[in-house]
DNA sequence: GTTATTTCCGTGTTCGGGCACGAAAATAGT
DNA sequence: ACTATTTTCGTGCCCGAACACGGAAATAAC
C-alpha cells in the first residue's frame, strides 16, 4: 500500500500498468472501450497504489454543469429558515467552481395550496437535484414520488416523510426531541400537574409534519412518567398579535393552575412576549430553536430552555450530500439526526455566532 | 456589480483592464513589478467585477509546499484527544491536494518535562505553521514566543494561554463552562451543601491550564449562589486504579455527607466506575467530554451531566485556520469559543456518531 | 486476401491560474 | 544621442484530469 503523501497521478498509474492515461481514465469512469485485459491491469494498479484523484484538477477539467433546486418556506431575516438558507448559501459558494448553480424557491408555510402550486412547477424546472423542507406531508410525498420517477435525487431537511426514502435526511429526531422537551420541563418538578402546548394554525393540510412528531414524543413522556398530568392545547395565529393576546388571556384566566408550557415550533418568543407583558406568575416555558427573539427571552428568564438543532448545518450538509452523490459519486449516509442542543441562559451565548461549519 | 454565477476569469479581468493576465496576477498577489497606473486600473476592474479566483485552478497551479506541525498529548483510541486528532486528519485529507503535509507529534500530558523536551525540538523542524494544545502554561508560552520570533503562525486548541495571541484559538470558554457545571449541579438542588472536585495529579508544572480555569468558574458560582457550600478537593492518579480506589474510599468514609462531585477533565468515568462498584448512595456527578466510557455511565445514571465541546471541530478548524491564513490569505477569527453542549442520557445518542464537520 | 467494421487505445487540447522567462518600455548614466 | 540599467509587462508552459478525435489493431464480411 502506498503512502498517502505519494501524490500519484493518473499518468503514474498509466505507466505502471503499461497503458496510456486515456485508458486509465476510461477505467476509472467506467466508460467502456477498454479490453478486459487492460481493465484488469489498471484496476490492479489503482488498488495497489491507492489512487485518489486530485479533486481540484478533476473539477477544473470537468465540463459538466449541474443545477440544484432548494425549496424552503418563506421567511424573514431572523428566522429559523434563514439559518438553513445561510448554510445552503455557504455550500453554494463552495460548489461554485464545480459548475453547480443552486436556485432557491419559497412557499408560504401556512398555506398548503401555495406549497402545492410551487411543487407542481418543480419537475418542469428539470433540476439535477432537489433539497426540500417537507413541512406538508402529503404534498411533499407526492412531489417526492414524481422525482423518484424521474430519477432526480432529493434530500429532506428539517422533517422526514414516512415511507419516502430521500437520498439523505438532515434534521432532528423529532419524536425524541419532544421527549426531551418533556423531561426538561417535568423532571425534578413534581409540582407541575398540568401543561399547555401551543401550536400554529395552518391553512389546509393538518399541522406540520415535524411538530406533530415532537408533540407525540412529548405526550409519550407524560403518559409514562406523569400519567395524571392534564394537557391543554392552544392554537395561535401567525402574525396576528391582537388575536393571540385575546386567546392567551382567555386561556390563562380559565386555567390559572397551568404552570408550564411548550411550543413545538420556533415561535416560542410569541408566548414569552405575552408573558412578559401580562403575567408576573411563575411559568416554565420551553421552545425550539435559537432565534434572536428567543434568545432575548432566554436571557430575561421568560424562556427556561430552548432545544436547538443546528439549522445551518442542515442546509450546508443537505446540499453537500447532493454534490457528494452526483459529482463525487460518494456514498452518502441516509439518515442524519442532528444533535439536540439544550440551551440555557448559561451556555446560549456560545451558540449564538459560532459558525458551526 | 457582477452576478455571482458570471464565472469571470483572470483573462476576462485582463481584457477589461487592457493588460495581460500576467499583470493581473501580479496585482492580485501583490508581487510588484507593476506600474501604479496599471495597478489602479486592474484593481478597479477586480472590484467592479467582484472577481473570485477559481480555487481549484489556483491550487492546481501553485507549486508551493507547506508543512504543518500538530502537537498533542499522547492518547488512546477512545480519548478526548483522539477526537481532536480525528478532526485534524479530516482537514489533512482536504488539504492533501493543496500540497500541505501535516505531521503529528505527541507528549506525555502528565509530565511537563516530556512536554518541554518536545517543544525544544519544534523550531528545528522548520514548520510553516503549528497547531498545539498548550496544556502546560509556562512551557507553551515559551514555545509560542519562539514561534512569534520566527514569524511562524500557530493556533491553540483546547485551552488558551493568557498574554499569548495565537493566530486562532478553538476551545471552550473554560471559566464559563465551570460556571455552567456548577449551575447544572446546584440549581434547583438546595439540598446539596457540599461537593467534591476531583483533579489529576501531574508531574512538574501545576495543573493543566484548562482545568484551572474551569475550577475557577465553578467556585465563582458557589461563591455567588451558595456561599455556605463546603468544597473538597481530591487528587487522583492517572492509570493507578488501586491507589485511586483507596483514596476515594477514604474520602467517602470521612465525608459521607458529600452528595455531589465534579471532574474538570474528561476522566469522570473513573469516578463513575468507582461509584458503581462501591456505593449505592445518591450522588450527583458531572464531568466533561463525550468519551465512550463516559457515555456508558451517562446511560446507566452514575453521571448526571456531561459538558462537551466538539473536539473534532477544534482539530478540523484549527488546521483549517492555518491553511486559510497561509494559503488563502484570508482573515481568520482569533477567538472561537466552542458551544458548551449539555449532554444527558436523553440527547446523548445524537451526539455520538454525528460527524459534526 | 482484401475490404469493411468494430473494438481498443494513445495523443493532444482544454479548464483557470501560477509563475518563469525574456522582451519592451522607461529611466539612468555617460 | 547612445548605451546601460531598471522597471514594467506579455507570452507560453505547467499543474492533473476529462474527453474528443482519430489511428491502430483485431475481428468480421466478402
Cα–Cα distance list, B334 to A242, B144, B150, B164, B206 (Å):
46, 15, 20, 12, 27
Cα separation, A179 vs B155, in Å, equals 40
Q: Do B350 and A339 touch (CB under 8 A)?
A: yes
Which residue blocks in B21-173 are alpha helix, DSSP H?
21-28, 36-49, 55-61, 80-95, 112-121, 137-149
Give the sheet arrangement for strand B335-337, strand by strand.
B100-107, B66-73, B129-132, B154-157, B168-171, B335-337
CB atoms within 10 A of CB B9: 15
CA A206 to chain centre: 20
- Nearest Cβ partner for B346 among A98, A183, A344: A183
Angle at B290 between CA B286 and CA B295, to 5 degrees: 75
pLDDT at res. A206: 62
Residues 6+ apart with CB under 8 A from B117: B107
Q: Do A351 and B344 touch (CB under 8 A)?
A: no
Q: Measured between beta carbons, which residues in chain B are less than 8 angstroms from residue A55? A: 56, 97
In this prediction, residue A2 has a pLDDT band, given cuts at 50, 70 and 90, of: very low
pTM, two decimal places = 0.90
Q: Are B276 and B297 in contact (CB under 8 A)?
A: yes
In this structure, the strands spanning B341-343 and B305-308 are antiparallel
The alpha-carbon gap from B293 to the nearest alpha carbon of chain A, in Å, equals 19
> Is pLDDT larger for residue A179 or for residue A238?
A179
DSSP state of A339: P
pLDDT at res. A204: 65
Cα–Cα distance list, B73 to A279, B105, B236 (Å):
53, 8, 19
CA atoms within a 13 Å half-sphere pointing along the CA-CB vector of A278: 17
Full pLDDT tens readout for chain B, 357 residues: 434 446 899 999 999 999 999 999 999 998 888 989 999 999 999 999 999 999 899 989 987 889 999 999 999 988 899 999 999 999 998 898 888 999 999 999 888 899 999 999 999 999 999 999 999 989 999 999 999 999 999 999 999 998 999 999 999 999 999 999 999 999 888 889 999 999 988 776 665 678 889 999 999 999 999 999 999 999 998 788 999 999 999 999 999 999 999 999 999 999 999 999 986 678 999 999 999 999 999 999 999 999 999 999 999 999 999 999 988 888 899 999 999 999 999 999 999 877 767
Q: Do B183 and A338 touch (CB under 8 A)?
A: no
- Nearest Cβ partner for A97 among B54, B98, B354: B54
Residue with CA nearest C1' of nucleotide C25: B35
In this prediction, residue A4 has a pLDDT band, given cuts at 50, 70 and 90, of: very low
Residues belonging to chain A: 357
Q: Which of A262, A288, A249, A135 is nearest to A199 (CA)?
A: A262
Residue pLDDT, tens place only, A293-329: 999 999 999 999 999 999 999 999 999 999 999 888 8
Q: Would you call B151 helix, strand, or coil by DSSP?
A: coil
Q: Are B311 and B289 in contact (CB under 8 A)?
A: yes
Residue of A350, A351, A357 best to disrupt the B interface, most CBs of B under 10 A: A350
- Residue for grid cell 483592464: B17
Cα separation, B283 vs B217, in Å, equals 22
Q: Do A96 and B356 touch (CB under 8 A)?
A: no
Q: Measured between beta carbons, which residues in chain B are less than 8 angstroms from residue A180? A: 344, 346-347
CB atoms within 10 A of CB A246: 11
CB within 7 A of strand D (chain B, 32-91): 32-39, 57, 60-61
Longest dimension (CA), chain B: 86
Residue pLDDT, tens place only, A42-69: 999 999 999 999 989 998 998 788 999 9
- Nearest Cβ partner for B340 among A96, A338, A347: A347
Longest dimension (CA), chain A: 86
Q: Do A342 and B337 touch (CB under 8 A)?
A: no
CA atoms within a 13 Å half-sphere pointing along the CA-CB vector of A175: 4
Region label for B50, one of left (φ > 0), alpha (ψ between -120 and 50) or beta (otherwise):
left
Residue with CA nearest C1' of nucleotide C16: B57
Q: Which of B310, B311, B196 is nearest to B260 (CA)?
A: B196
Cα separation, A11 vs A267, in Å, equals 58
Residue pLDDT, tens place only, A78-124: 889 999 999 999 999 889 888 899 999 999 988 899 999 999 999 99
**Exposed, middle or buried: residue A99 (CB in 10 Å: 0-12, 13-18, 19+)?**
middle
Q: Are B112 and B136 in contact (CB under 8 A)?
A: yes
Q: Are B135 and B158 in contact (CB under 8 A)?
A: yes
In this prediction, residue A3 has a pLDDT band, given cuts at 50, 70 and 90, of: very low
Please give the sequence-ordered ranges of beta strands (E in DSSP) within chain B, or none if there are none.
66-73, 100-107, 129-132, 154-157, 168-171, 194-200, 230-236, 260-263, 284-288, 305-308, 335-337, 341-343
Residue pLDDT, tens place only, B145-186: 999 999 999 999 999 998 999 999 999 999 999 999 999 999
Please determine, for residue A347, whether its predicted confidence score (pLDDT) is greater than 80.
yes
Amino acid at each position: 500500500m502506498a503512502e498517502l503523501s505519494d501524490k500519484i497521478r493518473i499518468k503514474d498509474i498509466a505507466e505502471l500498468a503499461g497503458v496510456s492515461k486515456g485508458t486509465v481514465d476510461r477505467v476509472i469512469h467506467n466508460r467502456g472501450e477498454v479490453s478486459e485485459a487492460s481493465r484488469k491491469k489498471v484496476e490492479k494498479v489503482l488498488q495497489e497504489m491507492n489512487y485518489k484523484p486530485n479533486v481540484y484538477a478533476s473539477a477544473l477539467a470537468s465540463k459538466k454543469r449541474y443545477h440544484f433546486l432548494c425549496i424552503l418556506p418563506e421567511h424573514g431575516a431572523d428566522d429559523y429558515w434563514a439559518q438553513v438558507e445561510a448554510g445552503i448559501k455557504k455550500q453554494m459558494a463552495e460548489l461554485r467552481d464545480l459548475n453547480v448553480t443552486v436556485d432557491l424557491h419559497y412557499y408560504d408555510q401556512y398555506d398548503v395550496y401555495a406549497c402545492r402550486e410551487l411543487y407542481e412547477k418543480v419537475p418542469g424546472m428539470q433540476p439535477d437535484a432537489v433539497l426540500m423542507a417537507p413541512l406538508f406531508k402529503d404534498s411533499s410525498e407526492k412531489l417526492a414520488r414524481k422525482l423518484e420517477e424521474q430519477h432526480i435525487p432529493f434530500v429532506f431537511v428539517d422533517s422526514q416523510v414516512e415511507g419516502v426514502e430521500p437520498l439523505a435526511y438532515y434534521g432532528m429526531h423529532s419524536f425524541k426531541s419532544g421527549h426531551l422537551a418533556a423531561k426538561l420541563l417535568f423532571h425534578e418538578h413534581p409540582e407541575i400537574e398540568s401543561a399547555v402546548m401551543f401550536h400554529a394554525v395552518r391553512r389546509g393540510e393538518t399541522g406540520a409534519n415535524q411538530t406533530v412528531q415532537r408533540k407525540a414524543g412529548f405526550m409519550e413522556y407524560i403518559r409514562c412518567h406523569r400519567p395524571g398530568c392534564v394537557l391543554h392545547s392552544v392554537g395561535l395565529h401567525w402574525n396576528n398579535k391582537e388575536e393571540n393576546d385575546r386567546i392567551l388571556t382567555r386561556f390563562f384566566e380559565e386555567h390559572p393552575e397551568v404552570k408550564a408550557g411548550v411550543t413545538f415550533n420556533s415561535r416560542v418568543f410569541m408566548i414569552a412576549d405575552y408573558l412578559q407583558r401580562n403575567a408576573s406568575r411563575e411559568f416554565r416555558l420551553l421552545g425550539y430553536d435559537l432565534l434572536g427573539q428567543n434568545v432575548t427571552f432566554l436571557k430575561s428568564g421568560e424562556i427556561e430552555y430552548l432545544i436547538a438543532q443546528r439549522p445551518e448545518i442542515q442546509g450546508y450538509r443537505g446540499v453537500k450530500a447532493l454534490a457528494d452523490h452526483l459529482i463525487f459519486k460518494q456514498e452518502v449516509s441516509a439518515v442524519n439526526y442532528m444533535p439536540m442542543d439544550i440551551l440555557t441562559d448559561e451556555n446560549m451565548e456560545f451558540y449564538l455566532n459560532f459558525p458551526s461549519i
